[in-house]
């Protein structure tokens, strides 16, 4: 365990269990150099406890990098609650988790993530103030989508020479909270949409409301398009799938899109511009971090503009150094976190 923590440069790992509510939770705090660790809370079924701990550690590291490049005074952390086969009282379980967060005296601030909702955050908020994205603060997903939209424009400018998206063809994998909101914005900008989702109802909605062209999930990555926007699960760009791509750029919301950084080098060799995921999808984090500090909507919107500025800087440096934007982003984040 300590070797894993050292490899990930993780500051702290906190575990708790509560037999009364069924809570089994992990809080991984990766780096607090810039401020308290902020990151979502997952509530998912895991094959075993080790996988849950690994997930929390990996995701916490990603949050440090994301906050560092988003220019936020926050560190990176993540919580995982192992979802029990059966729970009598979900509210009580999240309240117990709130009490656990409170014991950390503000070193970790939580937020919604896969499997959790604003209603769960309200339960946590009964016992700690170190919680964001409650029902009164709102869902960060529309803000993530806004940031990705701005990032797609910056990507189009860098790769295709114009940030006018009208007439471009964008393939979106995953029409969930972020993907559907992104599809709406792209449609309004005159983009031709190709879409896939495992949920046929989401696809039907996009076809009916946005004139999108449905593509089977297995075929979407190989669709001919200007920009591929992965907005489903992570790990979709691997040694095998990257050979199928027929796009000029990849720019989407999904976390951990690259199975490994070597995949980014392959994209680079193929002339496919890659928008580092934790840079382009930082809109939700910016929203929850600033909203939690009481910032105005004007200040939040102004800060969101940093996403496309940061991407433009990364693309310029990547071009000058003949390196992948993913490697440039990692080096920039590590300079902020460790130098």
Q: Which of residues 39, 62, 284, 325 is near ligand NAD by CB under 6 A? A: 284
Is 8 in contact with 30 (CB distance < 8 Å)? yes
Rounded to a whole number of angstroms, the minimum distance from the CB of residue 42 to ligand NAD is 9
Q: Per rule CB under 6 A, is residue 197 in the interface with ligand NAD?
A: yes
Q: List, as one string, the DSSP characters of 224-253.
A: B-SEEEE-S-S--B-TTGGGG-B-SEE---
Closer CB to ligand NAD, residue 198 or residue 316?
198
- DSSP category for residue 175: -
Tell me which stretch binds ligand NAD (CB under 6 A): 7-15, 81-89, 232-240, 311-319.
Answer: 232-240
User: How many residues form the binding site for ligand NAD (CB under 6 A)?
Assistant: 25
The CB-of-280 to ligand NAD minimum distance in angstroms stands at 9
Catalytic site includes residue 66: no
Which of residues 21 and 74 has its CB atom nearest to ligand NAD in the complex? 74
Residue with the CB atom nearest ligand NAD in the bound state: 176
Which of 66, 78, 293, 306 is catalytic? The answer is 78
Please enumerate in sequence order all residues whose Cβ is within 8 A of that of 194, keeping only pairs 6 or more positions apart, or say none.
169, 170, 171, 172, 212, 213, 215, 220, 223, 225
For residue 28, the cross-strand partners are: 13, 78
Q: Taking CB under 6 A as the rule, does residue 202 contact ligand NAD?
A: yes
Give the count of beta carbons closer than 10 Å to the beta carbon of residue 208: 9
Tokens of 53: 């701990």
Residue 140 CB, nearest approach to ligand NAD (Å): 4
Q: What is the rounded CA–CA span in Å between residue 232 and residue 78? A: 19
Q: Is residue 151 at the binding interface for ligand NAD, with CB under 6 A as the rule?
A: no
If binding is defined by CB under 6 A, does position 253 make contact with ligand NAD?
yes
Residue 234 in contact with ligand NAD, rule: CB under 6 A: yes
Closest contact distance (angstroms) between CB of 139 and ligand NAD is: 7
How far apart are the C-alpha atoms of 200 and 215, rounded to whole Å?
A: 11
Q: Give the phi and the psi of residue 205 in degrees, each rounded to 5.
A: -60, -45
Query: Is 141 an interacting residue with respect to ligand NAD (CB under 6 A)?
Result: yes
Smallest distance, ligand NAD to C-beta of residue 70, A: 11
Pick the closest to residue 112 from 89, 150, 84, 142 (CA basis): 142
Of residues 26, 67, 251, 254, which one binds ligand NAD by CB under 6 A?
254
Residue 30 makes contact with ligand NAD by CB under 6 A: no
257/267 Cα distance (integer angstroms): 12
The C-alpha atoms of residue 53 and residue 285 are separated, in whole angstroms, by 22
The full DSSP string for 293-313 is TT--HHHHHHHHTHHHHHHHH
Q: With binding defined as CB under 6 A, does residue 177 bind ligand NAD? A: yes
Stretch in the footprint of ligand NAD (CB under 6 A) among 26-34, 102-110, 160-168, 253-261: 253-261
Please give the Cα distance from 331 to 327 (Å, whole number): 6
In whole angstroms, how close is the CB of 177 to ligand NAD at the nearest point?
4
Site residues for ligand NAD per CB under 6 A: 140-141, 144, 173-179, 196-199, 202, 217, 231-234, 253-255, 281, 284
Provide the annotated active-site residues.
78
């Amino acid at each position: 365990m300590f070797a894993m923590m050292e490899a990930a440069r993780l500051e702290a790992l906190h575990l708790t269990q509560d037999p009364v509510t069924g809570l089994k939770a992990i809080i991984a705090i990766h780096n607090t150099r810039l401020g308290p660790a902020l990151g979502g809370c997952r509530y998912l079924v895991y094959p075993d406890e080790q996988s849950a701990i690994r997930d929390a550690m990996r995701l916490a590291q990603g949050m440090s990098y994301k906050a560092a490049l988003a220019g936020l005074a926050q560190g990176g952390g993540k919580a995982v609650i192992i979802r029990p086969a059966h729970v009598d009282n979900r509210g009580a379980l999240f309240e117990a988790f709130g009490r656990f967060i409170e014991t950390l005296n503000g070193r970790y601030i939580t937020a919604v993530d896969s499997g959790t909702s604003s209603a769960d955050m309200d339960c946590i908020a009964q016992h700690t103030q170190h919680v964001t994205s409650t029902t009164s603060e709102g869902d960060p997903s529309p803000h993530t989508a806004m940031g990705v939209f701005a990032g797609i424009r910056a990507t189009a400018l860098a790769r295709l020479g114009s940030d006018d998206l009208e007439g471009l063809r964008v393939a979106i994998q995953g029409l969930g909270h972020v993907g559907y909101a992104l599809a709406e914005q792209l449609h309004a900008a005159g983009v031709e949409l190709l879409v896939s989702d495992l949920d046929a109802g989401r696809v039907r909605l996009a076809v009916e409301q946005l004139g999108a062209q449905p593509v089977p999930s297995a075929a979407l990555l190989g669709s001919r398009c200007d920009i591929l926007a992965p907005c489903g699960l992570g790990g979709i760009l691997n040694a095998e799938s990257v050979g199928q791509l027929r796009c000029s750029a990849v720019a989407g919301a999904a976390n951990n899109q690259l199975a490994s950084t070597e995949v980014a080098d392959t994209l680079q060799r193929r002339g496919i511009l890659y928008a580092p995921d934790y840079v382009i999808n930082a809109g939700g984090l910016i929203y929850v971090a600033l909203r939690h500090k009481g910032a105005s909507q004007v200040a939040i919107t102004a800060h969101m503009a940093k996403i496309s500025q940061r991407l433009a800087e990364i693309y310029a440096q990547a071009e000058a150094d003949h390196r992948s934007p993913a490697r440039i982003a990692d080096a920039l984040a590590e300079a902020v976190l460790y130098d």
